Structure 1
Amino acid sequence: MVKRFVLSMLMLLLVISTTTACSNANATKKNSDGKVNVTTTVGMITDIVKVVGGEHVNVVGLMGSGVDPHLYKASQGDIKKLDQADIIFYNGLHLEGKMVEIFERMAKKKPTVAVSDNIDRSSLRLGNEDMGTEYDPHIWFNVAHWMKATESVRDSLIEIDPAHKEVYEENAANYLKQLEELDNEVREKIASIPESGRVLVTAHDAFGYFGDAYDIRVMGLQGISTASEAGTKDLIDLRDYLVNNQIKAVFIESSVPRKAIDAVIQGASEKGHNVEIGGELFSDAMGEDGTPEGTYIGMVRHNVNTIVNALK
């Protein structure tokens, strides 16, 4: 009996020892370079973390150029990246609609931050509850909202890594100054478009915050989420609006198929009104890494210049 007890205790100690060793090995591997491991969803958030975190973070973004976050489903590889992170940043407001349960599960194990949480809900545009979007999630199109998101990233990095508080604060302060300048630049450029032609027609309704903030009328063929599809009536209504108001340009989006927009252009042509593609805008995803459009500021500048050149 005593022998069996001793043997059982030895086995238990062996299991505990092995588990602890594995845990310590994983921890050493995870933090071997002393940096905070961060996993993000959309590229715009990845960009904030890179700028604010600087050399003290390792950042892995799940969604690259041309990826539609509304329809994105996490792979097993993505789950592993989320598991290995010290902290996770996502947009929230149901942008990453198919990942909600994953974020809820991760939040029980580690900091999982929706960068939209510190934005006053009274300043948000309403969404479509039928599609599960209480609020419009495309907050980055109002630069002032994206400044709030930057502050959220800053504060969360300080909380998990207080040793580099001053660095995060300095990096964020410099970036916030750039964003403030960008906000003024966008307002001035959009104001240069004659008011009668200040109409932005896009593939889906992603630019509502942009329209509200910078005084330009926005019309999207699809709804706030690309999970909704444009019906025949939507196509006809938009075609008639373009014809009746002599709108000369519409815009495609890098992360949304252009088939429906092409159908509207064809419909307008059959009515005797020529509508051109004013250019490609970045909506739910930024440009390729290493290009100006692969950063948030570069993406916004590209969009604004494209819109102004086509409508002015």
Structure 2
Amino acid sequence: MFKSKMVLAVFMVFAIIVAGCSNQSSSKKETGKIKVTTTIGMIKDIVDEVGGNHVETIGLMKSGVDPHLYKASQGDIRKLDQADMIFYNGLHLEGKMVDIFEQMSKKKVTVAVSKDIPESEFRSWDDGTEGHDPHIWFNVKHWISATNTVRDELIKFDSKHKEDYEKNAEQYIKKLEELDKYTEEQISSIPKETRVLVTAHDAFGYFGDAYNIKVMGLQGISTASEYGSKDVSELRDYLVNNKIKAVFVESSVPKKAINAVVEGAKKKGHEVKIGGELFSDAMGEEGTPEGKYIGMVKHNVDTIVNALK
């Protein structure tokens, strides 16, 4: 019975895709703008910046949403189907949506913004498999590459506005280069012996590699991975033995696990504070500085520095 229900659910999803395919370009004809659907907010931000007045962007995943565990609703399928273009992260960040992207790519421009980053620059999954860490936005240089990818794909789709896309991308990349420099300078101001970033899950590996800070996560790269009492005790002992002052919670990850580590350290006679909340897999609320990529990264950097310096 369960299997038959699952088959029916999958059939319904793809029925929606097929039924709506005839409407995929109607939005551009009606508004004159390219209708773009994105997954995570960081990608929506790129499309908004580069596309400017020529795009209408819809983001599926809002503030506080974990993309590793996200399942597309029928409403999401419609938004994807009605789009002229789709941008997603790739590298299995949106792991439960892979089949949907494959189907959509047969009908419309469907692009992983990670596609132009050399494979040699990807971090491997922490479980020894051949997969790659998807959290590429934490190395600002990788996000510059993603911006170039979005620019090029918009130009291919809408060459009439090529100069606007190039100008917008150039202005945004200049800001990203300034952000990259700011991040490097601020993190280097933390004493090396306390330059350790401890979070609930291992989302900050690219950040650690790019800006020379040791990164430790209780869970693996994906929040779908599980942690056990051994993981908690090992991280607790590391904090105690190395006199680490602070750990950090994440806006899109439950705080229970990291709090267990803090309590464990306290019982061992070492006080560890919560250094603040970081944005990892999702940005802040729309309309706030943290609701934009640059503001999110600056918030994270400033929070880390203030707690560890």
Instruction: Report if TM-score (shorter chain) is over 0.5.
Output: yes
Match of 2:172 among 175, 185, 193: 175
Match of 2:80 among 59, 79, 82: 82
| 1:95-244 mapped onto 2 (5 Å cutoff) | 95-128=93-126, 134-244=131-241
Deviating beyond 6 angstroms after TM superposition, the runs of 4 or more aligned structure 1 residues are: 22-26
| 1:25-104 mapped onto 2 (5 Å cutoff) | 27-104=25-102
C-alpha separation in 2, matches of 1:26 and 1:93: 26
Displacement of 1:190 in angstroms is 0.3
Displacement of 1:31 in angstroms is 2.3
- Shift of the 85–237 alpha-carbon distance from structure 1 to 2, 3 Å rule, reads same
Whether the aligned pair in 2 keeps the contact of 1:94 and 1:133 (CA below 8 Å) is no
C-alpha separation in 2, matches of 1:23 and 1:145: 33
- Shift of the 142–25 alpha-carbon distance from structure 1 to 2, 3 Å rule, reads closer
C-alpha separation in 1, matches of 2:294 and 2:222: 23
Whether the aligned pair in 2 keeps the contact of 1:69 and 1:96 (CA below 8 Å) is yes
Normalising to structure 2: TM-score of the pair?
0.91
User: Structure 1 stretches of 5 or more lacking a match?
Assistant: 1-21
Q: Which amino acid aligns with 2:94?
A: E
Whether the aligned pair in 2 keeps the contact of 1:287 and 1:294 (CA below 8 Å) is yes
User: How many residues get paired?
Assistant: 290
C-alpha separation in 2, matches of 1:239 and 1:141: 25
Displacement of 1:229 in angstroms is 1.3
- Shift of the 24–193 alpha-carbon distance from structure 1 to 2, 3 Å rule, reads closer
- Shift of the 47–232 alpha-carbon distance from structure 1 to 2, 3 Å rule, reads same
C-alpha separation in 2, matches of 1:73 and 1:24: 24
User: Structure 2 stretches of 5 or more lacking a match?
Assistant: 1-19
C-alpha separation in 2, matches of 1:23 and 1:252: 42
Q: Which amino acid aligns with 1:270?
A: K
Question: Is 1:300 aligned with 2:297?
Answer: yes
C-alpha separation in 1, matches of 2:95 and 2:44: 18
RMSD: 1.6
Whether the aligned pair in 2 keeps the contact of 1:93 and 1:133 (CA below 8 Å) is no
C-alpha separation in 1, matches of 2:241 and 2:24: 64
Q: Which amino acid aligns with 1:96?
A: E
Normalising to structure 1: TM-score of the pair?
0.90
C-alpha separation in 1, matches of 2:23 and 2:107: 19
Whether the aligned pair in 2 keeps the contact of 1:292 and 1:298 (CA below 8 Å) is yes
Whether the aligned pair in 2 keeps the contact of 1:200 and 1:250 (CA below 8 Å) is yes
Question: Is 1:290 aligned with 2:287?
Answer: yes
C-alpha separation in 2, matches of 1:260 and 1:26: 43
Structure with greater Cα Rg? 1
